[in-house]
Amino acid sequence: MRGSGKYLPIVPVLAAYALLLLYGLAAPGKWQLVAQLAFYCALGQAFNLFMGMTGYVDFGYVAFLGVGTYGMAVTISSLSDGGLGLGIILIGFLAAAVFSTILAMAVGAVALRLRGAYFAIATIGVNEGFRYLIEGARIWNGADGIIFSRHLKTALGRKMAMTVSTFWADIFVFGVAVLAAVLTLYYLRNKVGYALLALREDEDAAKVMGIDVTRYKIIAFITSAALAGLLGASGWALKLTYVYPPDVFEIHYTVEAIIIVLLGGAGTLMGPIAGGLIYGVSKYFLAITLPGFQLLIFAPIIIAIIVIFPEGLVGILKGKVHGTSLEKFVI
C-alpha cells in the first residue's frame, strides 16, 4: 500500500457510482430507483464512517439527517427573497452541515465520554428528543413542519426549481456518496484510520499506545454527522421541498443504515456500496411484490449476519482476495 497505489480502491468505487448514474440516465423510468440506491449507498457510507470505523452504534443517527433537512428548509424558506439564485442551495448545504455538526458536538460531548452500551443508551433518544424539542417548543414552525416549494420557486424560478427537485437533488446525493467514500478511504489510509482501528479493537490498549481516543471518536462522529446533514439536505429537503418532524426523525432510517453497513461489511470502503445496492434493490422489489414486509424480512437477516457472518460481504471478499493481485482494490 505504499506510494501511489494507496488510493487505488477509489477506482472501483467511482466506477460503481458512474455505472449506476449512467444506468439511471440511460434506462427510461429507472431514475427513481437509481436515486434511491444512491441514497442508500450514501447513507451506508456516512453511517459506516462512525459505526463501522469505531464499533459504536449510534441509534439516534437519523437525527443528523433530520437537522440537515431543516438546515436546507430553513435557509430556503427564509432567504428566498434575497435574490441569491442558485447560491441559496450552497448556503442551504452549508447550513445543513453546520446544524448537524452542532448537534453532533452537543450529543458527542456527553455520549463520546461513555463506553460501549452506555454510548448506545445515550444516543437512542436523540432523534425522538430533537423531534419533541421542535414540536414542543414550536421551533421552526413546530409540529406543522416547513413547506418551502413556493420559496424554492421564488428563489430559482419555476422551471429551475422543478429541475432541482427532480434531478439535481439526486445528483447531489451521488455527490454526498462520493464525498463520503473519499473521506472513508482517506481516513483508512491515514493515521485517523489506524487510530480508529485500534480503538475499535481494544480501546484501553489504544490509549496506552498513545492514541487520544476521544479526539478520534469525535473526528469520526462529526464527519459522519455532517455527511448525514448533507444527505438530508439533498436527498430529502431538496427532493421533497417540505420537512415534517415525524418523517425526518423516523428511527427506521437508522435501522436501514445498520442493515446496509452490516450487510456489506462494517469498517470497509466498499461494504456500504454493496450493502446499499443489495438492500435498495431488494427493498424495491419487495415493495412491489410484498409491500409492508421489508423489515419483517430484513430484521432476521441482520441477526443472521451478526451471528453467522459478522464481517459482512466485503469482509468475506477481502479474505478471499488476500494475497492476490486484486488485494489492493478491495478494502
Partner 1 sequence: MPLLKCEHVSKRFGGMVAVDDVSFEIMSGELMAIVGPNGAGKTTMFNLINGVFLPDEGHIWFAGVDVTRFPSYKRAHLGMGRTFQIPRPFASATVQENIAIGAMFGAAGGELNVEEAMEVADEYIDLIGLKAHRNKPAGGLTPIEKKLVEIARALAMKPRLLLMDEAMAGMNPKDIDQMVTFIRHIRDVEGIAVVAMVEHIMRAVAGLAERVMVMHQGAKLVDEPTREALNDPRVIEVYLGRQAEEFNAKG
Partner 2 sequence: MFFEQLSGNLVQGLILGSVYGMATMGLSLIFGVLQVVNVGHGAFIMVGAFTALILFQSLGVPPILAIPVALLIGMCLGMIFYYGAVKPLVSPSGAGIRKVGRRQLGKAAGVFVAVMIAMRILSGVLDLNIAFSIFIAIILMYAFLVYVYGGRRQEKGPELATLLVTFSLGVILEEVVKQIFTSEARGYNWDLGKLDLGFTVLPFTKILASGGSLTVAVLLYLWFNKTRAGMAMRSVVEDSVGARVCGVNVDWQYALSFSLGIGLTVTSGVLLTMFIPVGINPYMGGGYTLKAFVIAVLGGLASPYGAFFGGVVFGLLENGSYTLLAALPGGEPFALTRFFSFVMLLVILLIRPTGLLRRKG
Binding site for partner 2 (CB under 8 A): 55-57, 59, 107, 110-111, 113-118, 120-122, 124-126, 128-129, 132-133, 135-138, 142-143, 200-201, 251, 255, 258, 262, 286, 289-290, 292-293, 295-297, 299-304, 306-310
Which residues, 6 or more positions from 89, have their beta carbon under 8 angstroms from its beta carbon?
A: 72, 76, 164, 238
**Stretch binding partner 1 (CB under 8 A), from 1-9, 14-22, 58-66, 96-104:** 1-9
Q: 147 - beta bridge partners?
A: 242
Sequence-distant contacts of 194-200: CB under 8 A, at least 24 apart:
196/53, 196/54, 196/220, 197/53, 197/267, 199/54, 199/55, 200/53, 200/54, 200/55, 200/267
Does position 159 bind partner 1 by CB under 8 A? no
Is the separation of the CB atoms in 11 and 221 below 8 Å?
no
Indicate the helix (H) or strand (E) that contains 25: helix 10-26
Pick from 32, 116, 150, 204 the residue near partner 1 by CB under 8 A. Answer: 204
Pick from 111, 173, 198, 263 the residue near partner 1 by CB under 8 A. Answer: 198
End-to-end CA distance of the chain: 11
Residue 31: count of CB within 10 angstroms of its CB: 15
Does position 116 bind partner 1 by CB under 8 A? no
Residue 322: count of CB within 10 angstroms of its CB: 10
Does position 65 bind partner 1 by CB under 8 A? no
In the bound state with partner 2, the residue whose beta carbon lies nearer, of 26 and 117, is 117
**Stretch binding partner 1 (CB under 8 A), from 44-52, 97-105, 186-194, 299-307:** 186-194
DSSP state of 56: -
In the bound state with partner 1, the residue whose beta carbon lies nearer, of 107 and 206, is 206
Q: How many residues bind partner 1 (CB under 8 A)?
A: 23
Residue 240: count of CB within 10 angstroms of its CB: 18
In the bound state with partner 1, the residue whose beta carbon lies nearer, of 32 and 190, is 190
Q: How far is CA 321 from CA 10, 316, 317, in A?
A: 17, 9, 6
In the bound state with partner 1, the residue whose beta carbon lies nearer, of 144 and 204, is 204
Closest separation in Å from C-beta 188 to partner 1: 10
Pick from 11, 82, 201, 306 the residue near partner 1 by CB under 8 A. Answer: 201
**Partner whose binding site includes residue 153, from partner 2, partner 1, none (CB under 5 to 8 Å by kind):** none
In the bound state with partner 2, the residue whose beta carbon lies nearer, of 24 and 245, is 245
DSSP state of 327: G
Which residue do the cell numbers 420537512 mark?
243
**Partner whose binding site includes residue 303, from partner 1, partner 2, none (CB under 5 to 8 Å by kind):** partner 2
Q: Which of 249, 233, 241, 236 is nearest to 132 (CA)?
A: 249
Closest separation in Å from C-beta 134 to partner 2: 8
Does position 328 bind partner 1 by CB under 8 A? no
Which residues, 6 or more positions from 160, have their beta carbon under 8 angstroms from its beta carbon?
A: 86
In the bound state with partner 1, the residue whose beta carbon lies nearer, of 178 and 198, is 198
For binding to partner 1 (CB under 8 A), which residues are involved? 1-3, 189-191, 194-195, 197-198, 201-202, 204-213, 323
